């Protein structure tokens, strides 16, 4: 019995070797000449072809998905980079436009008031205090830039106020909106004199005008040149309301300033010579009390 089992094992081994040799020989001598496939070959092709097709399709799908994913990731990164560059360019264009607008405003300010025989200093508004007590602007120029107390401040649209407080690099401007600032004024059409004083909100009053004066809505108010602060002929505002009371000898006249204080960005300070700067500072002292 032992010999029989041993012979069976040997025979199985020999049989496997023979099958392997035949298979290798078949591969080695395989002929690719045109001819009909055998029944076995046809069966194998019919069985394996759909599996191969499915495997190839899956491989192509996976490959496409991977390539598409990386393409989307790279495209997204590129789009983000382009958006950042576009935003930077838009900011740069916006800044250049703002600089251009500022240069145009400053050029107009420099060209304005050439006939006024005073040194002109350009300044930018850095803060605004519109409290009930004072209505004051702060500008970025001061004593080191040649500014002096009581120097008038204007724009190309009209009168702003005067310098009432100075530091080396900054100055505070008491605007015509403040009740402490009084401007000797004249009505351009009728040559009627009066005093402009600040009132509530962003309006002023023209005071001490006789009831007999024939003023009209829209009349222009100019500086009269009295008081040695403001030069003559600077536009102050226009009349927007007239109230002739039944009693009294004067009219109640409301003025809207020529300067739009809500949009004020740059101003011009008119500076006198040092010999003319020794004005009476009683107005300044009154404001600081």
- DSSP per residue, 156-167: TTEEEEEEEEE-
Q: Where are the domains of the chain?
A: 82-111, 119-288
- Structural contact between residues 158 and 261, judged by C-beta atoms closer than 8 angstroms: no
Query: Distance of CA 212 to CAs 185, 215, 222, 243, 255, Å?
Result: 18, 9, 20, 12, 19
Does domain 119-288 fall under CATH 2.40.10.350? My reply is: yes
Residue with tokens 């420099």: 110
Query: Distance of CA 143 to CAs 22, 159, 271, 283, Å?
Result: 112, 21, 11, 19
3-state DSSP assignment of residue 286: helix
- Structural contact between residues 266 and 109, judged by C-beta atoms closer than 8 angstroms: yes
- DSSP per residue, 14-52: HHHHHHHHHHHHHHHT----S-PPPHHHHHHHHHHHHHH
Other CB atoms closer than 10 Å to residue 14's CB: what's the count?
10
Torsion sign across C-alpha atoms 190, 192, 195, 201: negative
Q: How far apart are CA 215 and CA 241, in angstroms?
A: 10
3-state DSSP assignment of residue 9: helix
3-state DSSP assignment of residue 272: coil
Q: How far apart are CA 100 and CA 102, in angstroms?
A: 5
Burial class from Cβ neighbours inside 10 Å (0-12, 13-18, 19+) for residue 256 reads middle
pTM, rounded to two decimals: 0.59
Residue with tokens 């003319």: 276
Residue with tokens 């602060």: 229
Query: Distance of CA 237 to CAs 125, 233, 234, 240, Å?
Result: 21, 12, 9, 9
Residue with tokens 């008119």: 270
Comparing CA positions, the residue from 156, 154, 148, 146 lying closest to residue 175 is: 154
Tens of each residue's pLDDT in the chain, 289 residues? 555 455 556 666 666 676 556 555 455 545 545 555 566 555 665 655 666 566 656 666 666 676 666 677 677 777 777 777 777 666 666 555 555 666 666 666 666 656 667 788 999 999 887 665 668 999 999 999 999 999 999 998 899 999 999 999 999 999 999 988 999 999 999 999 999 999 877 899 999 999 889 999 999 999 998 877 898 889 999 999 998 766 778 898 999 999 999 888 889 999 976 544 444 333 333 333 2
């Amino acid at each position: 019995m032992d010999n029989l089992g041993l012979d069976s094992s040997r025979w199985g081994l020999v049989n496997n070797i023979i099958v392997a040799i035949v298979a290798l020989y078949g591969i080695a001598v395989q002929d690719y000449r045109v001819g009909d496939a055998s029944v076995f070959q046809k069966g194998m092709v019919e069985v394996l072809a759909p599996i191969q097709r499915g495997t190839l399709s899956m491989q192509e799908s996976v490959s496409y998905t991977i390539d598409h994913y990386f393409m989307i990731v790279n495209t997204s990164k590129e789009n983000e980079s382009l958006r950042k560059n576009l935003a930077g360019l838009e900011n740069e264009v916006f800044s250049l436009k703002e600089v251009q607008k500022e240069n145009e405003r400053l050029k107009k300010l420099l060209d304005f008031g050439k006939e006024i025989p005073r040194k002109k200093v350009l300044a930018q508004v850095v803060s605004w205090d519109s409290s009930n007590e004072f209505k004051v602007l702060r500008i970025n120029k001061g004593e080191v830039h040649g500014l002096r107390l009581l120097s008038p401040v204007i724009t190309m649209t009209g009168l702003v106020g005067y310098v009432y407080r100075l530091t080396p690099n900054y100055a505070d401007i008491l605007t015509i909106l403040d009740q402490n600032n009084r401007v000797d004024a004249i009505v351009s059409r009728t040559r009627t004199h009066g005093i402009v004083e600040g009132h509530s909100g962003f309006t002023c009053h023209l005071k001490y005008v006789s009831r007999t004066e024939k003023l009209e809505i829209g009349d222009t108010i100019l500086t009269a040149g009295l008081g040695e602060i403001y030069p003559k002929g600077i536009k102050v505002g226009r009349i927007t309301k007239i109230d002739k009371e039944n009693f009294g000898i004067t009219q109640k006249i409301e003025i809207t300033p020529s300067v739009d204080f809500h949009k004020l960005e740059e101003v011009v300070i008119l500076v006198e010579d040092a010999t003319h700067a020794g004005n009476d500072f009683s107005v300044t002292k009154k404001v600081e009390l």
